Amino acid sequence: MAQVHLRKIVKEYEGGVQAVKGIDLDIADHEFVVLVGPSGCGKSTTLRMIAGLEEISSGEIDIGGSIVNDVPPRDRDIAMVFQNYALYPHMTVYDNMAFGLMLRKFDKTEIKRRVENAAKILDIGMLLDRKPKALSGGQRQRVAMGRAIVRDPAVFLFDEPLSNLDAKLRVQMRTEIKKVHQTVKTTTIYVTHDQIEAMTLADRVVVMNHGNIEQVGPPQELYHHPRTRFVAGFIGSPSMNFMPAKLEGNGAALTLHLPDGIRLPIPAARTARYAPHAGKDVLFGIRPEHLTETRQTEHRANVAVFEAAPEVVEPMGMETLLHFWMQGHEICARFDPAVEVSPGQRVPMAVDMDQMHLIDPQTDLVL
């Protein structure tokens, strides 16, 4: 078990392209940290630098109290699970799991004990004599995890391990990974582009964009208190709605002026916070789950109502998504499936203003 510290880590490729632009990150012992972001944001490069598979252009990586910049991967006391499993195709499941221990000259009985223990944790005991080609995708991913567990490393590294699985299996394996972490409690760094995976697995989520860390925090904090427009839009599914607006009023009462003449009063609790921005253009951000049918918000304070005609209605079973356009901006609302809405029909929509976000369009920072 170990802490991991990244200090001003930079990865610059030939031609001056920077994949990672000087990030700092402290990961505590036993912590499950998920690096999440869109393709090309530098999350996988960061993980590979921690693993020792990519050289660091500048900065320091500290694993368990030692600077490992120039330490080869085999001596970093880490284990990695790859997206495509990377199982050795000519070896049985047992040999795949035992390979790292054999190279480290472990005693045969100890290897057997560790492999059987890992197989028990992952419920793959009956697969030990099979070759990887005789396994399903989910079973292969379990074996890849087993190969990491037997090593009992200081840090587990996961590089998009569920991306090759179908949707149903992905949900199942997600639970498995969480269960395994709760059992072995090894410090884990997990890379994914799927924000749902990040939210469900992480103790803390690291949102990356363009080689920088946008925000680090527990999933709920990122969801409720995003610091930037990128984090606000990236976390949550369907993603947050953004509408151009103007903040009008004086210090005592503020109102948001939205397109189509919609006026939304700012809750009193937020007036002081937003007062310095009165008179300015802002972006109004609201999540689809906070833009609902009026019945859900009957007894709540700070609810504003406006009417809109959805152009697309998507019944999802447990909810119905309504899509409408406001001056070229697509807006999504989340309605109770019991409320019947037809495309084109004007319906009242309740905005929970306690859940609103205002973003400065110049800086993209949440106000």
Partner 1 sequence: MSATAIPASYTGRKLGSLRSERRWALWVAYASLIIACIIFLAPPFYMLVTSLKSSAEISNLSGNPWLVKAPTLENYIELINNPLFRGFFWNSIIITVCVVIISMVVSVLAAFALARMKFWGSQMLATGVFLTYLVPDTLLFIPLYQIVGGLGLLNSIWGLVLIYPTLTVPFCTWIMIGYFASIPKELDEAALIDGANWMQMLTKIFIPVALPGIIAATIFAFTVSWAAFVYPTAFVTTPDQMPLTIGVVSQLIRGDTFAWGQIMAGALMAALPPVVVYAFLMDYYIAGLTAGATKG
Residue 99 in the binding site for partner 1 (CB under 8 A): yes
- Alpha-carbon distance of 191 to 176, in angstroms, equals 16
- Alpha-carbon distance of 178 to 161, in angstroms, equals 13
Q: How many residues bind partner 1 (CB under 8 A)?
A: 23
- Alpha-carbon distance of 337 to 334, in angstroms, equals 9
Nearer to partner 1, 6 or 87 (CB): 87
Sheet with 263-265: strands ordered across: 263-265, 254-257, 241-249, 281-286, 357-359
Could you tell me the smallest distance in angstroms from the CB atom of residue 79 to partner 1?
Answer: 7
Cα 341-344-345 angle, rounded to 5 deg: 50
Q: Out of 103, 167, 252, 316, which residue is the one contacting partner 1 (CB under 8 A)?
A: 103
* Distance from the first to the final alpha carbon of the chain: 39
Q: Out of 1, 10, 53, 367, which residue is the one contacting partner 1 (CB under 8 A)?
A: 53
Residue 82 sits at φ, ψ, to 5 deg, of -95, 160
Instruction: Tell me the one-letter amino acid at 114.
Output: R
Residue 58 in the binding site for partner 1 (CB under 8 A): no
Nearer to partner 1, 48 or 174 (CB): 48
Could you tell me the smallest distance in angstroms from the CB atom of residue 224 to partner 1?
Answer: 37
Residue 261 in the binding site for partner 1 (CB under 8 A): no
Could you tell me the smallest distance in angstroms from the CB atom of residue 34 to partner 1?
Answer: 20
Q: Out of 82, 92, 244, 355, which residue is the one contacting partner 1 (CB under 8 A)?
A: 82
Could you tell me the smallest distance in angstroms from the CB atom of residue 303 to partner 1?
Answer: 48
Q: Out of 38, 40, 73, 138, which residue is the one contacting partner 1 (CB under 8 A)?
A: 73
Angle of helix 108-122 relative to helix 137-150, nearest 10 degrees, comes to 140
Could you tell me the smallest distance in angstroms from the CB atom of residue 99 to partner 1?
Answer: 5
Q: Pairing mode, if any, of strands 241-249 and 212-217?
A: unpaired
Residue 72 in the binding site for partner 1 (CB under 8 A): yes
Q: Out of 8, 104, 113, 120, which residue is the one contacting partner 1 (CB under 8 A)?
A: 104
Asked if 310 contacts 347 with a C-beta cutoff of 8 angstroms, the reply is yes
User: Per-residue x/- mask for partner 1, residues 119 to 148, rule CB under 8 A?
Assistant: ----------------------------x-
Residue 108 in the binding site for partner 1 (CB under 8 A): no
Beta strands in 169-319 (DSSP E): 187-192, 204-209, 212-217, 241-249, 254-257, 263-265, 281-286, 291-293, 303-308, 312-315
| Site residues for partner 1 per CB under 8 A | 51-53, 72-74, 78-80, 82-84, 86-90, 99-100, 103-104, 147, 151
